Amino acid sequence: MAAYTSAHAPLATADALGDTASSASTTTTPDDDDDGLHDFASDSGFDSGSLLGDETDTLASSILNHRMENGRQYHAYRDGAYWGPNDELAKEILDFAHHMYLLTLDQKLHLAPVQNPQRILDVGTGTGIWAIDMADQYPAAEVTGTDLSPIQPEWVPPNCHFEIDDVSLNWTFPPAHFDFIHIRELFGCIPDWDFFFAQAYAHLAPGGWIEIVEHSVQPRCDDGSMGPDHFYHTWGKVVIEMGDRFGKSFTIWEESRERMERAGFVDVVEVPYKWPMNGWPKKNDKMRNIGRWNQLRLMDGVEGFMLRLLTQVGGWSVARAQLHLAQMRRELKSYRTHAYLPGTVVYGRKPLSG
């Protein structure tokens, strides 16, 4: 399948991945040349500034590079397409979030009533932690995780594999192929969600399930402890604005249900959840625990979430961006403000016919 190999770069051999992991901090980036220009043309298969080669092996070699930017490491394939770093700290933050989702969903990996799935797709898999857990939970299933970054581990269950792929392009998997498609935290990643859900619909088998887990970036409060001038309002407004300028919005958490129904999914269920900004919920052990993890995730994570958006998209100086991030970290320490991030888990089914 020629189309398959050009758009999907199989995620390398174990050796290549091992090299990536071990040499990440010293990898030469495309920007490290003397002239400061990308040297794509010297790598056969690249004819311009595009990182997309025609051959799978050319693509596979290019993805092992990384881009360094303001002290953080970013993906190279589809350079600039994603706002977040892919370095060790960023991976740790993703795994914190995975732990928080397990706490939120009472240790469940999904809420959709999936029965005996054979083919599972995790789109934008990140470190692959969900895909790996799913492969363990469903040993008879083949689990595929896709991402722009080759940051998944080398040793994974035999029924789990990873591919480098840009999900905003036409999907080249066979039609009606998967029994379950999972999406988590692709906010700010997708230029056209209707196109995305149409692709997911086409590649799900009849009766197959889709589940999307997303949260807001705008803290909310129900008890008046977050005044109208609170910095959390500024924080939320800035993230939303940066996403809009970037052309990839951060509001999917409140749109998933409607968009999935519009794409043709049926039996759509929306389950809301809340992530407290820190451990302020004194009387609710589960929420306090999630809040404490969220505080840690945000304290260590806000730089990765926002530095590229603020400096590259917003045109802020690094100093101004760092001040903004420092103010957020200060607010995260206050237990007087009872704020939380609302989120949704939305799942639905492709009809058996149609």
Residue nearer to ligand SAM on the CB measure, 79 or 185: 185
Can you list the pairs that 97-105 forms with residues at least 24 positions away whose Cβ atoms lie under 8 Å?
97/185, 97/297, 98/127, 98/129, 98/130, 99/293, 100/275, 100/290, 100/293, 100/294, 100/297, 101/184, 101/213, 103/286, 103/289, 103/290, 103/293, 104/273, 104/275, 104/290, 105/273, 105/345
Instruction: Out of 189, 238, 242, 339, point to the residue binding ligand SAM (CB under 6 A).
Output: 189
Written as one string, the DSSP assignment of 281-315 is -TT-HHHHHHHHHHHHHHHHHHHHHHHHIIIIIS-
Q: What's the closest the beta carbon of residue 114 comes to ligand SAM, in angstroms?
A: 17
Tokens 């799900």 appear where?
204
Stretch that binds ligand SAM, among 21-29, 180-188, 329-337, 338-346 (CB under 6 A): 180-188
Binding mask 136-175 for ligand SAM (x = CB under 6 A): ----------xxxx---------------xxxx-------
Residue nearer to ligand SAM on the CB measure, 49 or 227: 49
Interaction of residue 79 with ligand SAM, rule CB under 6 A: no
Stretch that binds ligand SAM, among 152-160, 178-186, 196-204, 226-234 (CB under 6 A): 178-186
Residue nearest to ligand SAM (CB): 126
142: three-class secondary structure by DSSP: strand
Residue nearer to ligand SAM on the CB measure, 169 or 266: 169
Residue nearer to ligand SAM on the CB measure, 20 or 125: 125
Half-sphere exposure of 2 (CA within 13 A, CB side): 2
350: three-class secondary structure by DSSP: coil
Q: What's the closest the beta carbon of residue 352 comes to ligand SAM, in angstroms?
A: 28
CA 202 – CA 62 distance, rounded (Å) = 30
Q: What's the closest the beta carbon of residue 35 comes to ligand SAM, in angstroms?
A: 28
How many DSSP H helices and E strands does the chain contain? 10, 11
Nearest to 198 by CA among 162, 167, 220: 167
Residue nearer to ligand SAM on the CB measure, 78 or 338: 78
Say what angle helices 285-308 and 88-104 make with each other, to 10 degrees. 150
Within 98-117, which residues bind ligand SAM (CB under 6 A)? 98
Q: What's the closest the beta carbon of residue 91 comes to ligand SAM, in angstroms?
A: 9
Instruction: Out of 11, 76, 94, 242, point to the residue binding ligand SAM (CB under 6 A).
Output: 94
Within 118-137, which residues bind ligand SAM (CB under 6 A)? 124-126, 129-130
User: For strand 72-74 and strand 119-123, is the pairing parallel, antiparallel, or unpaired?
Assistant: unpaired
Within 59-78, which residues bind ligand SAM (CB under 6 A)? 75
Interaction of residue 81 with ligand SAM, rule CB under 6 A: yes
Residue nearer to ligand SAM on the CB measure, 87 or 185: 185
Interaction of residue 186 with ligand SAM, rule CB under 6 A: yes
Residue nearer to ligand SAM on the CB measure, 166 or 179: 166
Residue nearer to ligand SAM on the CB measure, 56 or 334: 56
CA 161 – CA 157 distance, rounded (Å) = 8
Residue nearer to ligand SAM on the CB measure, 151 or 226: 151
Q: What's the closest the beta carbon of residue 305 comes to ligand SAM, in angstroms?
A: 8
The total number of residues shown for the chain amounts to: 354
Contacts of 94 (CB under 8 A, 6+ apart): 126, 127, 129
Q: Can you list the positions of beta strands (E) in 115-159?
A: 119-123, 142-147
Residue nearer to ligand SAM on the CB measure, 75 or 324: 75
Interacting residue ranges for ligand SAM, rule: CB under 6 A: 75, 81-82, 84, 94, 97-98, 124-126, 129-130, 146-149, 165-168, 184-186, 189
